[in-house]
Amino acid sequence: MPDLVITNVTAVTMDGQRRILRNAWISVTGNRIEAIGEGEPQAGPARVIDGRGGVALPGFISTHQHLIDSLVRGGLQQDRNLIDWLINVYYGAISAYRPEDCATAVTLNVAEAIRSGVTTVCDGWGVNNGDDPGRVSECTEATLDVYRRTGIRVMFARMLQDVFPDYWQPLAGALLRKIPGLRLRPETLVEDTDGGLSRIESLMSKYHKSENDRIHVCPSPVLPQTASPQALAGCLELAERFDTMLTIHLCESLTDARMFTESGWGMTCTDYLNCLGFLSGRLVAAHCVHLTDRDLRYFKVNDVKVAHCPSSNLNLASGIARVPQMVLAGITVGLGTDDTSTNCNVSILTEMRDAALLQRGVSFDAGVLSAEKALEMATIDGARALGLADEIGSLEAGKKADIILFDTDKPHWYPRHHLPAVLAYQAQASDIHTVIIDGRPVMEDRELAFLKRDEEPAFYERAQRTSEDVVERAGMQSLLARGWQSESRV
């Protein structure tokens, strides 16, 4: 007898045949889907969840996200490009984080993610890892504790950078003058190579595939520019030894892509990584906005995966990735919400819409990226990007029970004729009323299992105060004095 049966739904399975089942049911035993079908369920369960005639989907997958950065949004980042934001907002703020700040930020991010149907995240994590190792360790444990408590499925991508390029120094120095009170210590941005690799290995040994395989750990060199060849090789070796993925930021902005090529290397970042033997089917490369045709060929032949973050790339004025060319080349592309400080929300529905519409605008081709492909990128392609397609990403017997339920009894759902298009362009995050991860409801009727309705107002007020404290400790108060700028002065 199954533990749980979901009834009365239209199930968009995202399976190999892309079946859409009407009047469907889904039975769950333990943490896996036991069966799925149409009509009456096969057996009576211990518990029934009525889908209310709505839509069931596999949980959305965010292939690139930074959860602790939730405390640094709200307008602090406005009108800055990537390098300006990195130096004056991101690095400055997380240098002031305490373990309790990490716990608050991650809880806030996970609450928003689950409310918008995100069941799996790849979390690029780091708190100025060259700082006090004790603080870094405590912040790490505080973050992992929230993963355990909230029930989110996560790939914890512990970031590593052991180099700060000489050719970045003049730019970084100039940008730091914009916020004279900033207390950022640049030496904390890098950690020693062996120490960083050792700490990542320790985390992988302790936590990889923990919580019934719900928490994975992988290495994440931050950038080709900020990771030495030894660090890159060490991260790849760890990924291979623990049989997992690894992630990197790649060619996110024109500035960082061009500076690498013109700094004396005489090759693109991707060329460089290819020379080092770093490109592989284990690699998830985030952003990839400024790739050449040669880069795309390297991605194809090495089966490198892409985490596409359209909203963040727009916010930072980084550009628009060549996703249609990637898809046509057979490169796996998933979606990521990236940093809440650069995206401002944690909704894969927003990323789906932006991903599809952006490509139409720049290509003048209304069919260049279909609603169906956007939905695949949010689900099964995202699972493939994280090496988890055998476990999640579709509603199929034997897969993990990560399921989201939409309430469709709302005006923006009508008329509806082609469900993938309705999901990509009409559905809203607030339509999701129930979220199941690993067979366990983590949200029902819009109430989170780990943050009850009567607890939410106090928690959100605490998050606001915590953010204000971080800003003060980091010396970033001048960002609060922006005033009204009809024409930006940033």
Is residue 478 in a domain? no
My answer on whether 19 and 73 are in the same domain is no
What kind and span of H or E run contains 422?
helix 419-425
Tens of pLDDT, residue by residue over 135-174, are 999 999 999 999 999 999 999 999 999 999 888 889 888 9
| pLDDT for the residue 42 | 72
Beta strands in 241-296 (DSSP E): 246-250, 283-287
The answer to whether residue 264 scores a pLDDT higher than 90 is no
Tokens (6 digits) for 238: 């760890």
The answer to whether residue 403 scores a pLDDT higher than 90 is yes
What kind and span of H or E run contains 180?
none
Q: What is the rounded CA–CA span in Å between residue 450 and residue 344?
A: 23
Pairing, β 20-29 against β 153-160: unpaired
Is residue 187 in a domain? yes
Give percent of the chain above pLDDT 70.
Answer: 100
CA angle 225, 228, 234 (to 5 degrees): 125
**Closest C-alpha to 388, from 28, 58, 13:** 58
| pLDDT for the residue 167 | 87
Tens of pLDDT, residue by residue over 306-323, are 999 999 999 999 999 999
Considering its fold, how many domains does the chain have in total? Answer: 2
Is residue 44 in a domain? yes
The answer to whether residue 265 scores a pLDDT higher than 90 is no
The domain boundary residue, chosen from 445, 464, 480 = 445
More confident: 395 or 259: 395
Average pLDDT rounded to a whole number, residues 361-371: 97
| pLDDT for the residue 436 | 98
What kind and span of H or E run contains 189?
none
Average pLDDT rounded to a whole number, residues 389-407: 98
Give the predicted TM-score (pTM) of the model. Answer: 0.97
Average pLDDT rounded to a whole number, residues 1-10: 95
My answer on whether 50 and 84 are in the same domain is no
Cβ pair 10, 54 in contact under 8 A: yes
Tens of pLDDT, residue by residue over 23-56, are 999 999 999 999 999 998 876 777 999 999 999 9
Q: What is the rounded CA–CA span in Å between residue 393 and residue 381?
A: 7
Q: Which domain holds residue 158?
A: 60-385
Cα distances from 23 to residues 37, 169, 249, in angstroms, run 9, 61, 43
CA angle 238, 239, 240 (to 5 degrees): 90
| pLDDT for the residue 43 | 67
Cα distances from 403 to residues 28, 188, 392, in angstroms, run 10, 41, 10
The torsion region of residue 128 among left (phi > 0), alpha (psi -120 to 50) and beta comes to left
The domain boundary residue, chosen from 356, 385, 414 = 385
- Structure confidence at residue 251 as a pLDDT band (50, 70, 90): very high
The answer to whether residue 469 scores a pLDDT higher than 70 is yes
Burial (CB count within 10 angstroms: exposed 0-12, middle 13-18, buried 19+), residue 415: exposed
- Domain CATH code at residue 25: 2.30.40.10
| pLDDT for the residue 47 | 93
Q: What is the rounded CA–CA span in Å between residue 323 and residue 251?
A: 14
The domain boundary residue, chosen from 334, 350, 385 = 385
Is residue 222 in a domain? yes
The answer to whether residue 292 scores a pLDDT higher than 90 is yes
- Domain CATH code at residue 343: 3.20.20.140
The answer to whether residue 213 scores a pLDDT higher than 70 is yes
Average pLDDT rounded to a whole number, residues 181-201: 94
Is residue 38 in a domain? yes
My answer on whether 24 and 173 are in the same domain is no
- Structure confidence at residue 458 as a pLDDT band (50, 70, 90): very high
My answer on whether 40 and 158 are in the same domain is no
The answer to whether residue 65 scores a pLDDT higher than 70 is yes
Cα distances from 391 to residues 13, 212, 387, in angstroms, run 14, 13, 9
My answer on whether 265 and 297 are in the same domain is yes
My answer on whether 53 and 66 are in the same domain is no
Pairing, β 118-125 against β 32-38: unpaired
My answer on whether 163 and 303 are in the same domain is yes
Is residue 311 in a domain? yes
Pairing, β 338-339 against β 48-58: unpaired
More confident: 13 or 171: 13
Cα distances from 286 to residues 63, 64, 273, 330, in angstroms, run 8, 7, 14, 17
My answer on whether 12 and 73 are in the same domain is no
Is residue 483 in a domain? no
Give percent of the chain above pLDDT 90.
Answer: 90
The answer to whether residue 425 scores a pLDDT higher than 90 is yes
My answer on whether 332 and 420 are in the same domain is no
User: For the chain, what is the mean pLDDT?
Assistant: 96
My answer on whether 282 and 373 are in the same domain is yes
* Residue type, position 5, single letter: V
My answer on whether 290 and 345 are in the same domain is yes
My answer on whether 46 and 118 are in the same domain is no
Is residue 10 in a domain? yes
